[in-house]
Amino acid sequence: MPAVVEERAGGQCSRNEPVDNDRGTSRQKLTNAPRILFVKLSSLGDVVHHLPAVTDVRGRWPNAHLAWAIEPAYAELVRLHPAVDEPIAVNLRALRRGWFRPSEWRAISASRRTLREGRWDYVVDTQGLIKSALIARSASGARFGFDASSARERLATRFYDVRLPVARRLHAVERNRRLAASVFGYRLQGAPDYGLRAPEAPPAWVPQGPYLVMLHAASHRLKLWPEAYWVALGQKAAAAGYASVFPAGTPAERVAAHRIALDVPNSVVAPAVSLTELAAALAHSWAVVGVDTGLTHLAVALGRPTVGLYCATEPQLTGLHGGENVVSLGGPRTPPSVAQAAAALGVGDVVPE
């Protein structure tokens, strides 16, 4: 059965009785059509890793109303998941950058009002950070999250009504799925299902023939694969008949993309586009190869053959997970070689259709 709480003297909670909050929620409603709020604000990789948990919960409760508190930059992505009824934008990043602007404070106040008035039966923070716990705390309803031994930031657990243990050495996808399963009282079955509906058509700017998407950019320089390696891999792809697409976000990433593309035949630097349009480019590619970045995980979620290149992080915890034809290469201080990446992609051995 779902995790439940009982308020005791001193504000302590146990899991003995059904949640019965100030709205007088009935047991029947909790069983058949609960209102559920997930809190997973960012970043892109973390958001992608939470998608299978949403799929699991929808399978458990087909009639539930599922909302998701999330940074606005990723709201368009979660709308591609048919189980998400209501993305709720919470722009903490804008507030950090523009804390002196009254408009940013008004926007946060409006988001908190939406959360407070949501009449939630369950509020589940799968991020385990102080910032996400504070957002969960601003929502009405029973609040669930990781316990102190499981959360990424121990102080976050003080803001939950129910704290649940989940092993830290599991992959992030499985941690999210297990937390949700513990909250809602079901057993996990099968491989993770990211649940995204891929855009039906590719963007107009992608090559007409088969192409690889090469995700060369990352948030930290230690995650980067050498540019000379990208050039060599792109040249192998071109020799095998594949075009290469190099997405880029920041000005520095765009400069790097053009620098690489100069020496890669039949290559395209992607224009500045929305996340949904970039998802369409990934979804219609022949394959994707990328460093440890959220877009590489998104390619897996969209069901594409994907090769992950790990240069600084541990694939066991945040590697590519759950898709078919997916491989993670390398690890901390052991970047994969061009030959390894080319072999994983099958470049030179597979004739494009």
Q: Encode pLDDT of 46-95 as tens digits.
A: 999 999 999 999 999 999 999 999 999 999 999 999 999 999 999 877 66
Structural domain count of the chain: 2
Give me the pLDDT at residue 111, please: 81
Cβ neighbours of 164 (radius 10 Å): 21
**pLDDT of 318 higher than 60:** yes
**pLDDT of 22 higher than 60:** no
Task: Examine the domain organization and report whether 227 and 340 are in the same domain.
Answer: yes
CATH number for the domain spanning 140: value is: 3.40.50.2000
Give me the pLDDT at residue 110, please: 83
Output the average pLDDT for the chain: 89
**Domain-embedded: residue 241:** yes
H or E stretch covering 161? none
Task: Examine the domain organization and report whether 13 and 154 are in the same domain.
Answer: yes
Give me the pLDDT at residue 327, please: 96
Model confidence at 30, pLDDT cuts 50, 70, 90, reads low
Structural domain boundaries, residue 330: 211-345
Q: Rounded to an integer, what distance in angstroms lies between the CA atom of residue 144 and that of residue 38?
A: 10
Give me the pLDDT at residue 28, please: 36
**Domain-embedded: residue 351:** no
**Domain-embedded: residue 218:** yes
Q: Model's pTM, two decimal places?
A: 0.88
Residue ending a domain, among 167, 184, 201, is 184
Task: Examine the domain organization and report whether 17 and 163 are in the same domain.
Answer: yes
**Domain-embedded: residue 123:** yes
Contact residues for 236 (Cβ-Cβ < 8 A; gap 6+): 338, 342, 347, 348
Give me the pLDDT at residue 314, please: 87
**pLDDT of 13 higher than 60:** no
Task: Examine the domain organization and report whether 23 and 159 are in the same domain.
Answer: yes
Write the pLDDT tens digit of every residue in 163-193.
Answer: 999 999 999 999 999 999 999 999 999 999 9
Contact 150, 166 (CB under 8 A): yes
**Domain-embedded: residue 117:** yes
Model confidence at 265, pLDDT cuts 50, 70, 90, reads very high
